């Protein structure tokens, strides 16, 4: 298995308009964002701080807790894995009568399909970076970001487990609860989200004792990461070519099968 440093070759700088690989710097606050240089990290802070969650603070809050039930909860969010789903009414986004993998927000009590909510909050973040999907699409009440909230809670659980002072039963129980919630995001089928969750999912699988599944998860991700890096490099080269020769970016990207849904907006912003 490749070590952490060698896996950096599959990661690109998180700063907008930068696609350099092997980022040497990491956000010290959330431990999630990577940057190729202090300059990129500083320029990206205004955007990144909106979703940056201080992992160290969360670790301190839960440092002395061994309450498995408490650590397994997402603040403000309820995942309904069993029960009468029909009683929840239609999904507030797709309006389908039956909600798949229901997510209920404790504040307003509105329910949505997990996959629908992930797509909605990601689309909202693209169209309005200041919002970050932090409002209920049904009543506009303030709600947590599902992906960020779940991932932050999972990171806290992993930090708690790695302290090494839990019994084997407690460790597996905590990891299992975190894996169950993470799996709901994984099962939405979003390719980008699955890539972002790959390392975390593999870590939880190993804590649960399923080492073969953990290794399989990492191995399956390597060719995908490689393809993403190659396509990213091709996109950068294409942008530079279009700027030099005054060509239409979307038209040229479509010819090369580089254009994806929403790419027109992203590529357009990159040229500004």
- Give the confidence band of 205 by pLDDT, cuts at 50, 70, 90: very high
Tens-digit pLDDT profile for residues 216-237: 999 988 888 888 788 888 888 8
Q: CA angle 85-78-152, nearest 5°?
A: 140
pLDDT in the model for residue 37: 92
d(CA 90, CA 106): 17
pLDDT for the residue 66: 42
For 38-54, what is each residue's pLDDT tens digit?
A: 999 999 898 888 767 77
Q: CB-based burial of residue 93 (10 Å sphere; 0-12 exposed, 13-18 middle, 19+ buried)?
A: middle
Residue listed under structure tokens 């302290």: 163
Paired tokens of 67 = 């309450």
Residue 262 has pLDDT above 50, yes or no: no
- What is the residue-wise DSSP string for 108-124? T--EEEHHHHHHHHHHH
- Best CA proximity match to 36, nearest among 21, 46, 49, 48: 21
Residue extents of the structural domains in the chain = 1-52, 218-272
Q: CA nearest 204: which of 227, 177, 229? A: 177
């Amino acid at each position: 298995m490749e070590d952490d440093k060698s896996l950096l070759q599959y990661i690109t700088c998180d700063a907008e308009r930068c696609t350099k690989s092997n980022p040497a710097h990491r956000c010290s606050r959330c431990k999630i964002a990577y940057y190729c240089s202090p300059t990129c990290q500083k320029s990206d802070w205004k955007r990144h701080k909106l979703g940056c969650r201080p992992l160290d603070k969360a670790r301190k809050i839960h440092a002395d807790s061994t309450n498995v039930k408490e650590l397994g909860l997402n603040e403000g969010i309820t995942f309904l894995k069993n029960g009468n789903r029909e009683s929840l009414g239609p999904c507030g986004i797709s309006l389908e009568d039956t909600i798949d993998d229901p997510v209920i927000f404790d504040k307003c009590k509105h329910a949505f399909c997990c996959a629908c909510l992930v797509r909605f909050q990601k689309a909202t973040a693209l169209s309005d970076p200041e919002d970050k999907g932090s409002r209920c699409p049904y009543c506009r009440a303030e709600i947590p970001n599902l992906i960020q909230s779940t991932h932050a809670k999972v990171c806290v659980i992993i930090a708690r487990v790695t302290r090494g002072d839990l019994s084997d039963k407690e460790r597996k129980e905590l990891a299992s609860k975190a894996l169950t919630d993470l799996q709901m995001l994984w099962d939405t089928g979003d390719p980008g989200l699955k890539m972002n969750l790959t390392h975390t999912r593999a870590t939880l699988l190993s804590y649960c004792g399923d080492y073969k599944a953990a290794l399989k998860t990492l191995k399956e991700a390597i060719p995908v990461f490689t393809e993403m890096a190659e396509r990213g490099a091709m996109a950068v080269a294409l942008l530079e070519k279009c700027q030099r020769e005054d060509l239409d970016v979307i038209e040229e990207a479509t010819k090369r099968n580089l254009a994806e849904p929403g790419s027109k907006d992203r590529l357009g912003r990159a040229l500004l």
